[in-house]
Amino acid sequence: MSEPPKRDIRNHVLFEVATEVANRVGGIYSVLKSKAQVTTAEYGSKYTLLGPLNRASAAMEVEEIEPKDPAIVATIKSMGERGIQTLYGRWLIDGAPRVLLFDTGTAYYKLDEWKADLWSTAGIPSPPDDHETNEAIVFGYLVAWFLGEYVYHEKEGAVIAQFHEWLAGVGVPLCKKRKIDVTTIFTTHATLLGRYLCAGSVDFYNNLQYFDCDAEAGKRGIYHRYCIERAAAHAADVFTTVSHITAYESEHLLKRKPDGVLPNGLNVKKFSATHEFQNLHQTNKERITDFVRGHFYGHNDFDPEKTLYFFTAGRYEYRNKGVDMFIESLARLNHRMKSAGSDMTVVAFLIFPAQTTSLAVEALKGQAVIKSLRDTLGHIEHNVGKKLFDKALAWHEGQDPPDEKDLLTAQDKIMLRRRLFAMKRYNLPPIVTHNMVNDAEDPILNQLRRCQLFNHPADRVKVVFHPEFLNSANPVLPMDYDDFVRGTHMGIFSSYYEPWGYTPAECTVMGVPSITTNLSGFGCYMEELIENASDYGIYIVDRRMKGVDDSVNQLCEFMYEFTRKSKRQRINQRNRTERLSDLLDWKRMGMEYVKARQLALRRAYPDSFAGDEAGGEEPGYFDGTEGVKISRPLSAPGSPRERSGMMTPGDFASLQEGREGLSTEDYIAWKLPEEEEPEDYPFPLTLKQKVNKAAGVAAGAGAGAGAGAGVGESAGNESGTLTPTMAPWVNGNGSS
């Protein structure tokens, strides 16, 4: 029997298989959509995404074109002759990748035959009434059919097929069993059993090695789905996950140690100037403030300049997303701020889509009251301005200037008084913006009631539960999600089960500090990559080694410390956070996918790698990244200094403001790592008098010796008193 022809591994073809290709359901859609640009740049026309056809979404997202690859043309024709309908086209996203979508409905005539084959081939059962599993089986068999026909027609290049999640995983064991000449990668973004176990009150991570996986899956009615996922993990040439925490989970639940970790990235669009994203923050913060003014009308007794906006968002998984812990920590933060007499106010938003009947009347009324007040004041302002202008034009020398009594008419005063009376409120602002379908049993509302977070005027922490996806057409909070995130001060995601965590990653790219946990993939990734993540605005709560109470206190402490930062400190921290965005760019993250594909090719075609340096041994493609940490924030340079080390006006002004306690805050007291400039400045300042030229030269030489020292550590001053060399623009009294 002759051996199959040797395939060219350098000019290989890549197929990515997932149920969310041009079909938004969950997070995998975001992964594929954001990654498409870098993958298309690498492969061009040799990259195709395979998915099930959802005609509603495909009509808006896919432009149908004729395939040019003769092997794809022949395969589509062959499947079409047997009644399988397909759609080939471009996905209308960045990169415009090619997609091939299968109409699973046209293959249901083979469902029973395929179910029987799956049982005899892989021992995987399939109950008749599980529509999701039926779809997975039909789609899996169609993909295996397509790949088998494709490699029959395409005999030269190697073929890689990467499958995402169990819903697309049926094709993996089929390719193995049928000996289809493709190399397979299976990527799990979250294990089925892990998600189900964490949703119940189970001490998941401490008992991972003790779970009877078959029994636990059977109890929850997902044994057949678990079998598909486990078979895909074992049959794949390369098995990967999205984070180290998910790799640890997969090793115990799926009984195979992953070969590598493929973290999720984002398409980072950098601004040419750093102040641009700060301007966006200010603009969107004003829009959130407009909502807050309406929602809390009658109780607007807090200063918008001293108000911080925190938020959490995601799927409504009360325990998995850490909502229970977040609300408990808000209650403790409220108590702590009241006890400390803080003048800051925190407005915490909870954005979790839930079942609602309608918008709450009170929420709509608040926005209407504020709108009518704004319209009335605009009308009065226009009238007053016109009268003032006319009277100024008619003014002659010797006459009195226009008086306010001449400007405001009795009608204006009555209209204004009516608007002010409409602002009266005899009840507390609502904690939810919608009428819930099951208000009495909603876990978020019950937890807010238990913690007595009712938006009382004395509370320093206010809460707003918005049970709907954000969009700009909403009459209460008309903002898209991205704009809303940019306008907030901090995102808080205290998840218990979070395989990756796109929400804190999106915050980081937008320059918004966030709190995550060491049980989330993103938190683990940042903890491994950055030595002092909190200096970059990434706070990581320990939910792995600490008890629940200690974790809640740690979260509360992080939030409390953030409320004590000055405005300048928050601006500086946002700059640092935004600088991390390069670490999350697909241009960097995509390299891990390249490694996985190289490993898959090596395992499928070892003879093609026989002559390389590894000498037949499989190299550690995913080695070499551990232990390399970013040690300190790459802060923006401070004010420029002369070569002599003399301070510039900017440096002097910063110290002067701190000394005199002015309200214009600067970088004073910003907590930096020890290797950066120390934050304690010994006061009072001792400023050298300007002396004659000879003495000035000597002073300049002394300053030059300490040019490398930071502010407050001048060389040659053993007493520790700050003695900056006197610049020509400062007189002997220290005033300019």
Query: Do the bridges between strand 514-517 and strand 490-492 make them parallel or antiparallel, or are there none, so unpaired?
Result: parallel
pLDDT of residue 628: 57
Q: For residues 166 and 221, give the distance between their C-alpha atoms in angstroms, rounded to a whole number.
A: 16
CA-CA-CA-CA torsion for 582, 588, 589, 592, nearest 10 degrees?
-160
Q: Which residues share a beta bridge with 464?
A: 349
Q: Which of 667, 644, 647 has the alpha carbon at shortest distance from 734? A: 647
> d(Cα 106, Cα 99) in Å, to the nearest integer?
18
The rounded distance, in Å, linking the Cα atoms of 46 and 96 is: 13
Nearest to 314 by CA among 598, 475, 514, 159: 514
Does 8-261 match 275-360+430-583 in CATH topology?
yes
pTM above 0.85, yes or no: no
Question: CA-based diameter of the chain, in Å?
Answer: 116
Pick from 227, 223, 283, 287: which is nearest to 254 by CA? 227
pLDDT for position 629: 67
Using CA atoms, how far apart are residues 499 and 202, in angstroms rounded to an integer? Answer: 17
- Backbone φ and ψ for 233, nearest 5 degrees, come out as -65, -40
d(C-alpha 232, C-alpha 240), whole Å: 11
Q: How many CB atoms lie within 10 A of CB 186?
A: 31
Distance CA 560, CA 319 (A): 23
> What tokens were used for 637?
């340079």
- The predicted structure's pLDDT at residue 624: 52
Question: Can you identify the CATH homologous superfamily of domain 275-360+430-583?
Answer: Glycogen Phosphorylase B; (3.40.50.2000)
Tokens of 429: 């602002």
Token pair in block for residue 724: 């900056």
Q: In this predicted structure, what is the pLDDT of residue 337?
A: 97
Burial class (CB in 10 A: 0-12, 13-18, 19+), 403: exposed
How far, in Å, CA of 317 to CA of 417, rounded? 46
Nearest to 419 by CA among 380, 477, 361, 362: 380
CA-CA distance, 111 to 170, in Å (whole number)? 13
What pLDDT is attached to residue 736? 36
In angstroms, the CA 256 to CA 250 distance is 7
Closest Cα partner for 570 from 579, 561, 582, 583? 561
**Nearest CA-CA partner of 511 in 265, 263, 276:** 276
Give burial (CB, 10 Å; 0-12/13-18/19+) of 266.
buried
- DSSP string for residues in 170-237: THHHHHHHTT-S-EEEEEESS-HHHHHHHHSS--TTTSGGG--HHHHHHHTT-HHHHHHHHHHHHHSS
Q: Are strands 62-64 and 86-91 parallel, antiparallel or unpaired?
A: antiparallel
How far apart CA 444 and CA 352 sit, in angstroms, is 10
Q: How many C-beta atoms surround the C-beta of residue 611 within 10 A? A: 9
Amino acid at 40: T
Q: Phi-psi bin for 529: left (phi > 0), alpha (psi -120 to 50), beta?
A: alpha
* Torsion, CA 208, CA 493, CA 358, CA 370, rounded to 10: 170
User: What digits encode the pLDDT tens for the residues 582-637?
Assistant: 899 999 999 999 999 999 999 999 888 876 655 456 666 666 544 456 655 554 44
Find the angle CA(69)-CA(21)-CA(596) to the nearest 5 degrees: 75
Query: What is the Cα–Cα distance from 597 to 237, expressed in whole angstroms?
Result: 10
Q: What is the DSSP string of 328-356?
A: HHHHHHHHHHHHHT---EEEEEEE----E
SS3 573: helix
Contact 122, 89 (CB under 8 A): no
Do the Cβ atoms of 173 and 235 come closer than 8 Å? yes
Cα–Cα distance, 189 to 19 (Å, whole number): 13
Give, to the nearest 10 degrees, the angle between helix 502-509 and helix 567-579.
110
Q: Where are the domains of the chain?
A: 8-261, 275-360+430-583, 361-394+404-428
Backbone phi, psi, residue 465, to 5°? -95, 115
Give the domain 8-261 fold. Answer: Rossmann fold (3.40.50)
Q: What angle do CA 658, 663, 668 make, to 5 degrees?
A: 30
User: Exposed, middle or buried: residue 132 (CB in 10 Å: 0-12, 13-18, 19+)?
Assistant: exposed
Strand ranges, E, within 20-124: 47-52, 62-64, 86-91, 98-102
- Please list the ranges in the chain whose pLDDT falls under 50: 1-2, 615, 625-627, 635-691, 693-736
What is the pLDDT at residue 393? 85
Q: In the numeric block, which tokens belong to residue 706? A: 């300490």
pLDDT of residue 201: 75
The two tokens of residue 529 are 């990559």
> CA 169 to CA 157: how far, in whole Å?
24
C-alpha 339 chain-centroid distance: 33
Q: Which residue spans within 485-535 are E strands per DSSP?
A: 490-492, 514-517
- The per-residue pLDDT for 619 is 66
Cβ count near 561 (within 10 Å): 12
pLDDT of residue 701: 41
> What is the pairing mode between strands 356-359 and 345-351?
unpaired
Tell the residue number behind the tokens 């200010």, with chain if given.
282
Q: Could you give the 3-state DSSP secondary structure of residue 48?
A: strand
